Amino acid sequence: MKYKKLRDITKTITLARAYGATAYQLAPSTGKSIDDTAEDINNLDERFPGIKGMMLEAHELAKKQGYVTSLFGRPRRMPQAMKIPKIYGNQSHSELPYEARSLLNLACNHRIQSTGASIVNRAMIKFHSNIKELGLDCKIVSQIHDEIVVECQEKDAEVVSLVLQEAMENTTVLENMPLEAIPRTTKTLAKSK
């Protein structure tokens, strides 16, 4: 299997798995059978138990307290999750009906997405402060998930890229998880290098 295809399959499974996707749901995206996709998920769970642990922790917190928080304390309230154990007992996540699984998957989603959004927001604030301090003519144009689009003079592009990279990689420090940001410059959003 070619490296890019293997990488794409791995990325698909890893990202979707954190949101509770099943082998049945992922098989069409991977181009593999349901059994082979299930095996890949099991291998992922064994190799990176922290992903499954984080998922289960989010589910349990939602069921126990009716809310979860991001790494920075932003809550997502879901009091209806506290009814799940009363209605379904100790059924595993995969045995729960779709509505209950979806609610618990939102708990996991919030912890990931809200934490990611806070990391990017903090980086944008730091970047803006650093650019202002350096006296560079530059502005943040857009944010798309974990990407920040910046507009500046062509002569400043290299410096602005480095300032942005530094802000994205070092404003928030996560234990045992270095953040990596790879800047790309272009004259148009249609193509970037």
CATH number of domain containing 18: 1.10.150.20
Domain limits at 44? 3-115
| Distance between CA atoms of residues 154 and 156, nearest Å | 5
All residues at 6 or more sequence positions from 66 whose CB lies less than 8 Å from its CB, including other chains: 77, 78, 79, 80, 81, 82
| Distance between CA atoms of residues 83 and 144, nearest Å | 35
Residue 121 belongs to a domain: no
pTM of this prediction? 0.80
Tell me the average pLDDT of the chain. 90
How many of the other CB atoms lie within 10 Å of CB of 25?
A: 13
Among residues 112, 107, 109, 106, the alpha carbon closest in space to that of 174 is found at 112
Residue 193 belongs to a domain: no
pLDDT at 5 exceeding the cut of 60: yes
Residue 14 belongs to a domain: yes
**12-32 residue pLDDT tens:** 888 888 777 889 989 998 889
- Number of structural domains (the chain) is 1
pLDDT at residue 192, as a whole number = 53
